[in-house]
Structure 1
Amino acid sequence: MSSPSANTPLSYKDAGVDIDAGDALVERIRPLARKTLREGVLAGIGGFGALFEVPRRYREPVLVSGTDGVGTKLKLAFEWNMHETIGIDLVAMSVNDVLVQGAEPLFFLDYFACGRLDVDTAATVVAGIARGCELAGCALIGGETAEMPGMYPDGEYDLAGFCVGVVEKSRILTGRDVADGDVVLGLASSGVHSNGFSLVRKCLERAGDALPQTLDGQPLRHALMAPTRIYVQSVLQALARHPIKALAHITGGGLLENIPRVLPEHCCARLAANSWPRSELFGWLQATAGIDDTEMNRTFNNGIGMVLVLAADQAAACAATLRAAGEQVFEIGRIAARGAGPAVRID
């Protein structure tokens, strides 16, 4: 194919950016975003900026923000052509982070970047984002689709998201009241979530032709690509009914690195290793990688996606509320005086 001469007009499409495809995507997104509308939305998709009014039921509202991506889980989405739930992962990573401050997620914006816009793929991803927003009770009110020729290989894209939530100033969770004897509850994860996939991909490479057909009763690919669980609705119910002292979202760094972020310096969490079930998925990952329990618990969530800390006499009632809301809940440990040891000990 010959290059255009110096006198031939060049359009943006000739340069690799298809404005018509972008417009078509916006029209596909509109009804998806409309399904996520909630109180407070003043203007959403299509404007230069989205407008949101903090619900008037808050007397001393404090805004809480969070942003994240999906990490190298995207590489498997590209390889396996599995884009349906990656948007749920994107929403989950931010709304769960906002939640641990005690905040209700209000709205979400996404950023989708690619070299060449495939409207069907992008619409599939955004449908997952809208579904994640529905699960979290927050509105998808805006975002950005960037088509940047030469920046990404064909068939690949990058994804990021941004969430804003709100909490009453007097109800911000800081962990300062966590004390010796408090109970640690763990909520089951739905799988690997969206952390540790660089190691997951190495495990797939190492296993080669010896890959298991199924794990935990589902095909391997579905087990690995299961979307990150969104804990917002169930935990907000628990926060409204029980005096929870701290929450920790178990993401990169696992149990060992995330729980200390919400503990006072004088406290540690002593967890019982066998207090929650071990899935085939995590067993296979550990065996294939050949790593010890410590490395496993600082790389993956290892079956626990969210941790709650509260007084011992409140734990049973809180666990009942969470189970009624659909969570699998396990009492996984207690808070103790830290001393000279690490902030999390799994025995």
Structure 2
Amino acid sequence: MSQLSNVSLSYRDAGVDIDAGDALVEAIKPFAKKTMREGVMGGIGGFGALFEISKKFKEPVLVSGTDGVGTKLRLAFELNRHDTVGIDLVAMSVNDILVQGAEPLFFLDYFACGKLDVPTATAVVKGIAQGCEQAGCALIGGETAEMPSMYPAGEYDLAGFAVGAVEKSKIIDGTKITPGDVVLGLASSGVHSNGYSLVRKIIEVAKPDLNADFHGRPLADVLMEPTRIYVKPLLALMESMEVKGMVHITGGGLVENVPRVLQPGLTAVLDSKAWTMPPLFQWLQQHGGVADAEMHRVFNCGIGMIVIVSKENADAAFAQLQAAGESVSRIGVIRAREGDEHQTIVS
């Protein structure tokens, strides 16, 4: 027969601090408020996030995406840097839905940890809000999960969810791409948020001083540089001309991502000499002894987004993107596929 306990237990005794959760909500409200845009109904704190689609869309199609930050988080823990991974989180999802022509409307985040550290979580969510501002979307909700014994002390995990809208007639799916079209490459800000398992392995082997100068900045800063968000300049480009295809260079690098927008009978031929691979990638390749083919299959190698336009529009697209602050290179062409060759050839 069980006996009644004389101990009075609380949720805090079990490892969950409700007061810390409440403090985090209050701390992030000002950051979320700065991301508000037309369509948002209500604020942070409700059970569900409400958003009204603008009447400017006649036949709106919703486009959604979800992603995390990957093992870049491990580097963030080791360096105790939590202010930029939130930007990475937003970038990975909004850049993904952008390539189908969607305007990001709102974003939700999921932050999970073993024990909630309010300053750390606040830094992360502040970064998420900064990413949302860059993308022009609203941070309208999320979830903070404090789960004792699920995560080691000082560690957390992140997931993000973006929803956008595109006019049905303006969905970009690659079906209009034809031989002769031009491939433009937009520079990445760094490794972005893919391939960090290999990055960390190379660091383990090379044992560099992460605080040492690397081309004018500490190596740690270069490694943690947040993912570039391409939303605003590319939405503007889509307004001014036909964009036939876009590719967000994420996991799978240049080689695996481009075929996702190509019809079976087409191949993209990219000229690796058309852009300079940034020093960080050169360093990673050198210290890891990584083959060229592996570099192109794992990393963005300096090209974070690809835009495919007609030959006639190539010069105008190049000029507009450059004027918008993007570093642009004309990196390849589309041609008919020969036999069963790979759909992306990097020469």
Aligned positions of 1:256-335 closer than 5 A? 256-335=255-334
Identity %: 63
Q: State the SS of the aligned residue for 1:63.
A: strand
Counterpart amino acid of 2:108? L
Q: State the SS of the aligned residue for 1:269.
A: strand
Residue 114 of structure 1: aligned partner: 113
Shift of 1:217: 2.4
Distance in 1, Cα, partners of 2:31 & 2:290: 42
Residue 13 of structure 2: aligned partner: 14
Cα RMSD over matched residues? 1.1
Q: Structure 1 270/212 Cα, relative in aligned 2: closer, same or farther at 3 Å? A: farther
The worse-fitting range, judged by mean Cα deviation, of 177-186 and 210-219 is 210-219
Distance in 2, Cα, partners of 1:240 & 1:201: 40
Report runs of 4+ in structure 1 exceeding 6 Å deviation.
Answer: none
Residue 104 of structure 2: aligned partner: 105
Aligned positions of 1:188-267 closer than 5 A? 188-209=187-208, 213-267=212-266
Provide, for residues 114-171 of structure 1, a one-character-per-residue CA deviation record: whole Å limited to 9, x for no partner: 0000000000000000000000000000000000000001100000000000000000
Instruction: Structure 2 unaligned segments of length 5 or more: list them.
Output: none
Q: State the SS of the aligned residue for 1:203.
A: helix
The worse-fitting range, judged by mean Cα deviation, of 5-14 and 275-284 is 5-14
Residue 344 of structure 1: aligned partner: 344
Distance in 2, Cα, partners of 1:192 & 1:209: 17
Shift of 1:324: 1.1
Residue 85 of structure 2: aligned partner: 86
Q: State the SS of the aligned residue for 1:274.
A: helix
Distance in 2, Cα, partners of 1:209 & 1:293: 22
Counterpart amino acid of 1:35? K
Aligned positions of 1:98-177 closer than 5 A? 98-177=97-176
Distance in 2, Cα, partners of 1:93 & 1:287: 27
TM-score (norm 1): 0.97
Say if 2:63 is the partner of 1:61: no
Distance in 2, Cα, partners of 1:216 & 1:86: 22
Shift of 1:44: 2.7
Counterpart amino acid of 2:343? A
Provide, for residues 15-64 of structure 1, a one-character-per-residue CA deviation record: whole Å limited to 9, x for no partner: 00000000000000111100000000012310000100001110010000
The worse-fitting range, judged by mean Cα deviation, of 270-279 and 143-152 is 270-279
Checking the alignment, whether the CA contact within 8 Å between 2:274 and 2:330 is kept in structure 1 is: yes
Distance in 2, Cα, partners of 1:42 & 1:211: 45
Checking the alignment, whether the CA contact within 8 Å between 1:216 and 1:279 is kept in structure 2 is: no
Distance in 1, Cα, partners of 2:51 & 2:99: 22
Distance in 2, Cα, partners of 1:165 & 1:126: 20
Distance in 2, Cα, partners of 1:9 & 1:212: 49
Count residues in correspondence. Answer: 343
Counterpart amino acid of 2:80? N
Checking the alignment, whether the CA contact within 8 Å between 1:111 and 1:143 is kept in structure 2 is: yes
Counterpart amino acid of 1:125? V
